[in-house]
Amino acid sequence: MRASIVEGGGLGGLVRTVSVDTESDELRSRVESADFFALPSLLGDAAAPDEPTYAITVDAHTVTVSERALPAELRALIDWIRSAPGRAERIEPA
pLDDT less than 50: residues of the chain = none
Asked whether 75 and 63 are in contact (CB, 8 A), the reply is no
Q: Report the number of distinct structural domains present in the chain.
A: 1
Residue among 26, 6, 35, 16 at smallest CA distance from 84: 26
| pTM for this predicted structure | 0.91
Structural domain including 7 reads 2-93
Q: Report pLDDT for 14.
A: 87
Residue among 44, 50, 38 at smallest CA distance from 71: 44
